[in-house]
Amino acid sequence: MTEIVELLRAGRDPKTHQLFIAGEWVDSVSGETFESLNPADRRDVVGRFQAGTAADVAMAVRAAEMALPRWKATPAPKRGEILYHYGALLADNKERLARAMTREMGKVIAEARGDIQEGIDIAFLMAGEGRRMAGETVPSELPDKWAMSIRQPIGIAGIITPWNFPMAIPCWKIMPALVTGNTVVFKPASDTPHCATLLVELMAEAGIPPGVVNLVTGAGAEVGDAIVESPDVSVISFTGHTSTGKHIAERAARRLKRVSLELGGKNAIVVMRDADLELATDGIIWSAFGTTGQRCTATSRVIVDGPAIGPLLERLEAKAKKLRLGYGLDDGVDVGPLINPAAVEKVGSYIEVGRGEGELVLGGAVATAGDLANGNFFAPTIFTGVEPMDRIAQEEIFGPVLAVMPFRDAAEALAIANDVRFGLTASVYTSDLSTAHAFARDVEAGFVWVNDSGRHFLGTPFGGFKESGLGREEDTEELYSYTQTKNVSVLFE
């Protein structure tokens, strides 16, 4: 906490940041600002940010509309070169950005560096797509006729992003939107506006022309809804809570907008009796308590073959007890804070639910020892004896809470894993190849791990089944979210 103490002692007035519209940093028409606080120590004000309004969104949309013809006409390889330069700038500034992220969002510095690296990697990946923006040519059924298809940008993309991956996710969305020739109006989560501001500053430095990317900070009800409702925004990409995603989809449908949604999860790890329990324990601990459980991919259910429950619980409890909570820039810290007091309250309410549904093995309380009292810290929590239809086994908690439940055979394990309204990720730990293949084939999830959990790789499609979302991100499949296909037929003699 040394860095925070020094900041507080300095007593410096936090910087007031602005919106970025048409290549200029400007104040909101509202004249209002809001504060972003360090979740590890709420006394530390990261900065003040503009409380954007529908009028600000209208100006950003107009700027994007004015910039669209020129950006669309810029050759895709040239657009890719600019994205490559942006990726290089992210790499040059990686440590500075990671430290800023830990201060504003709370994740430990190693995870923050990984977040930035994903932004770097997607910038480079999409830069290359500038030279692979291919359509198709097909044989014509008529003589002297040439048939082909081409992909073209949709128009203005509304990008609405969450706080838990405050640099990676904006890059996942904005980079493919830009390389395909769209312009962008970007609304970040109100818990992490500084991270978004730093990203956009580097985009301008990389040479992205004025109006191509526009940043409007502020509340979802003001800024987010205005982006979704704008008749000039043609595609919406959103990551966040499932209920918000449904709200966006309903509103966008009235104007037949293209929508890409990456939503919630209630992800399961299945542990067979023949599993390597040490390997499974490491995977569960990382997946459940990394990022303080604040990932849509986090494991919140562990479904265990009956005879393995006792040995697995012993290992989980022993390793979870060793996890150190604290400020993510301090040495030796494993788990950072929850994002805000409302998240602490929500997790606490589920602990009370869990006490009535299962047996508390570990945790179950706000962490307040020493400096932790100034932040939003919650102890890693494990319940056992949970039934598959219990609330803590069905509802997304988005915190460091794990429900452990037994199964009798592989069919029951699969049924429990699938019997939720989400379908984002799933894992199985087993030494049997047939079991692994059958699980991967039959589980209802967009991302499946075998003898691993919680790690995904750029260049493979990321997204979920059921209420976990629509569309895919992080690979070339995402390009289809931002393009429309045109069929061209040419007669020649």
Query: What are the tens digits of pLDDT across the range 106-135?
Result: 999 999 999 999 999 999 999 999 999 888
Read off φ and ψ for residue 13, nearest 5 degrees: -70, 130
Range of lowest pLDDT (11-15, 208-212, 436-440): 11-15
Q: Name the average pLDDT for the chain.
A: 96
Which is nearest to 187 in space by CA: 38, 19, 27, 398?
19
CB neighbours of 65 closer than 8 A, spacing ≥ 6? 156, 183, 232
Does residue 5 surpass a pLDDT of 70?
no
Specify the pLDDT at position 39.
Answer: 98
Can you read off the two tokens belonging to residue 361?
Answer: 């093995």
- Label residue 493 by pLDDT band (50, 70, 90): confident
Specify the pLDDT at position 6.
Answer: 66
pTM of this structure? 0.96
pLDDT digits (tens, 9 = 90+) for 225-282: 999 999 999 999 999 999 999 999 999 999 999 999 999 999 999 999 999 999 999 9
Specify the pLDDT at position 291.
Answer: 97
Does residue 366 surpass a pLDDT of 70?
yes
Read off φ and ψ for residue 442, nearest 5 degrees: -100, -15
Higher-pLDDT residue of 5 and 380 is: 380
- Mean pLDDT of all residues in 407-423: 97
Specify the pLDDT at position 8.
Answer: 62
- Mean pLDDT of all residues in 320-341: 98
In the CATH hierarchy, which top-level class contains the domain 2-263+468-487?
alpha beta
Specify the pLDDT at position 473.
Answer: 93
- Domain ranges across the chain: 2-263+468-487, 267-457
Specify the pLDDT at position 12.
Answer: 73
pLDDT digits (tens, 9 = 90+) for 39-80: 999 999 999 999 999 999 999 999 999 999 999 999 999 999
Read off φ and ψ for residue 270, nearest 5 degrees: -100, 130
Bridge partners (DSSP) of residue 407 are 305
pLDDT digits (tens, 9 = 90+) for 347-357: 999 999 999 99
CB neighbours of 87 closer than 8 A, spacing ≥ 6? 119, 120, 121, 123, 124, 127
Can you read off the two tokens belonging to residue 447?
Answer: 């991302």
Identify the helix (H) or strand (E) that includes residue 261. strand 258-262
Which residues belong to the active site? 262, 296
Rounded Cα–Cα distance for residues 16 and 197 (Å): 11
Tell me if 97 sits within 8 A of 120, measured CB to CB.
Answer: no
343-309-354 Cα angle (round to 5): 30
Rounded Cα–Cα distance for residues 390 and 405 (Å): 10
- Label residue 16 by pLDDT band (50, 70, 90): very high
CATH code, 267-457: 3.40.309.10
Rounded Cα–Cα distance for residues 195 and 105 (Å): 9
Does residue 319 surpass a pLDDT of 70?
yes
83-196-228 Cα angle (round to 5): 90
